[in-house]
């Protein structure tokens, strides 16, 4: 996960999600001011998108 984080950050990927079903987590990383900032289930590039976390981990 760290390698992808570093590669995506280096490439300037605007946003990526890490879904970890075994842990019941969804992490959203958003590119801000030259680095990724972490968030949970709040995609800033697509604010109209709604994700029901219960459905993700059924």
Q: What is the average pLDDT across 34-45?
A: 66
Asked if residue 2 lies in contact with residue 17, where contact means CB atoms within 8 angstroms, the answer is no
Domain locations along the chain: 2-43
Q: What pLDDT, on a 0 to 100 scale, did the predictor assign at position 40?
A: 52
Give the pLDDT confidence score for residue 19 in this predicted structure. Answer: 84
29/42 Cα distance (integer angstroms):
9
Distance between CA atoms of residues 9 and 47, nearest Å: 21
């Amino acid at each position: 996960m760290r390698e992808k984080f570093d590669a995506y950050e280096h490439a300037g990927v605007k946003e990526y999600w890490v879904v970890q079903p075994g842990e019941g987590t969804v992490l959203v990383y958003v590119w801000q001011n030259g680095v990724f900032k972490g968030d949970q289930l709040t995609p800033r590039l697509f604010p109209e998108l709604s994700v029901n976390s219960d459905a993700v981990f059924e």
